[in-house]
Amino acid sequence: MNQPVSALSRSELEERLSALSCQYEDVRAKGMQLNMARGKPAASQLDLSMDLLHLPVDCTLEDGTDARNYGILDGISECRKLFADLLGLKPEQIIIGGNASLNTMFDTLASLVLFGTQGHKPWGRLQYEGHAVKFLCPVPGYDRHFTMCEELGIEMIPVPLLEDGPDMKMVSELAAANEDIKGIWCVPVHSNPQGVCYSDETVRALASMETAAGDFRIFWDNAYAIHHIYEEKSVLNIIEECEKAGHPDRPYFFFSTSKITFPGAGVSLISSSDANIKELKGHMKAQTIGHDKLNQLRHVQFFKTPENIRLHMKKLAGELRPKFDMVLNRFDAELKGSGLLEWHNPKGGYFVSVDTLPGCARRTVKLAKEAGVTLTEAGATWPYGKDPNDRNIRIAPSFPTIDELEKAVDIFILCVKIAGIEKLLEK
């Protein structure tokens, strides 16, 4: 346990800062180039999927269709079945999308703006009529969700993400009171960035709450559904829960193989109620003849069964665990009890979310950058890039090698200490 900085006198703080600054100058002089910015798998993880590149060996589908030719709007049935079995979904409620779920999410959100859903007015029309269409955004959250909303003119209301999911008291009060609140972003398993997994109560509350908007939608980005590192977590099935609660059209469930096989060369999916799937296919027909069936088949022939996917995830977790251990152990050793940093211990996913002292996140990221360590921009985990307390930073330990990571984490810790003590000395 480290000494709390609050127990130090001003001169002790100054002395510490002076010593840390010397260390920092030494590090900066080395001109390193390290990156903990994005949740990218390491090359060693990608190596586990290389057999994909020799597939498919046979391009004829179960039903006799030649997968090399045009057709099949919603994806090949063997692929829908594989992911349905993996995720507890119904194959007929799945549409296989393109190379990444981000695009599927954007297209879905854009279709709500352009066309509306289930007879409700298009959100773009509401915007032109002067309504400020809004989404609830649990924070800290995923910057690319926020960018999508911003691009489509959807205002964002931050909602705290607690240990078991979004603050449901706040969510349900807001959703019930304002018909312009049209949806919520959720990363229900190993959330980006904190690694929060939604409790059953949270999922049931999301499914059953009353909403002023008849077309309130849950964007359920289950990016890390099976991405366990320390502990297997499962979360209630949002589609079933919404159906039980009488709101079958509320959820859109997204998933992809981006962090299972090759990011950006994978297979994505959307699942929802029968009515929503029918509606989405109606729009898709104008947009595409169908997504890449050979890549769908490639993934089916590579994995064959859901069990093999889970086994593959265990291997990937084996690659990630030492890196997460490294980050968390170094934090424990250097910062625990210091009062300079709070962090979550994720059970899976791709990130470690940390909170500096108030007002120190930007300074920490800037210091790290100048010392050769690129981090996700401070503020990125908040809508509009604005973290009101300037505290949250997202650490992505997956991409660097373990040696690089050790260097990067130690530089980061140094920067946390400097920024924190500088702040204390400002007072």
- Residues of this chain that bind its own copies (CB under 8 A): 38, 40-41, 43, 46, 49, 53-57, 59, 66-71, 98-100, 102-103, 106-107, 110, 113-114, 124-125, 128, 144, 147-148, 150-152, 258, 262-265, 283, 285-295
Q: At its nearest, how many Å lie between its own copies and the CB of residue 220?
A: 19
Query: Residue 28 corresponds to which tokens in the numbers above?
Result: 């900066």
Q: CA nearest 202: which of 166, 232, 239?
A: 166
Q: At its nearest, how many Å lie between its own copies and the CB of residue 147?
A: 5
In angstroms, the Cα distances linking 266 to 30, 127, 200, 293, 373 are 38, 34, 30, 11, 29
Query: Are the C-beta atoms of 186 and 198 separated by less than 8 Å?
Result: yes
Closest to its own copies by CB, 105 or 352: 105
Closest to its own copies by CB, 152 or 413: 152
Query: Would you say the C-alpha torsion 117, 211, 273, 140 has a positive or negative sign?
Result: positive
Which residues lie across from 155 on neighbouring strands? 134
Q: At its nearest, how many Å lie between its own copies and the CB of residue 311?
A: 20
Closest to its own copies by CB, 124 or 372: 124
Query: Are the C-beta atoms of 365 and 111 separated by less than 8 Å?
Result: no
Q: At its nearest, how many Å lie between its own copies and the CB of residue 288?
A: 5
> What does the radius of gyration of the chain's CA atoms come to, in whole angstroms?
23
Closest to its own copies by CB, 49 or 364: 49
Cα distance between residue 382 and residue 389, in whole Å: 11
Cα distance between residue 322 and residue 328, in whole Å: 10
- The DSSP 8-state label assigned to residue 258 in this structure reads T
DSSP characters over 260-292: TS-TTSS-EEEE--HHHHHHHHHHHHHH-S---
Half-sphere exposure of 317 (CA within 13 A, CB side): 18
Place of tokens 């510490």: 16
Closest to its own copies by CB, 106 or 230: 106
Cα distance between residue 80 and residue 273, in whole Å: 15
User: How deeply is 361 buried, as exposed, middle or buried, from its count of CB atoms within 10 A (0-12, 13-18, 19+)?
Assistant: buried
Closest to its own copies by CB, 29 or 286: 286
Closest to its own copies by CB, 121 or 244: 121
Q: At its nearest, how many Å lie between its own copies and the CB of residue 293?
A: 6
Q: At its nearest, how many Å lie between its own copies and the CB of residue 128?
A: 4
Closest to its own copies by CB, 45 or 356: 45
Cα distance between residue 279 and residue 275, in whole Å: 6
Q: At its nearest, how many Å lie between its own copies and the CB of residue 137?
A: 15
Closest to its own copies by CB, 261 or 353: 261
Strands 94-96 and 134-139: unpaired
Q: At its nearest, how many Å lie between its own copies and the CB of residue 354?
A: 22
Q: At its nearest, how many Å lie between its own copies and the CB of residue 374?
A: 14
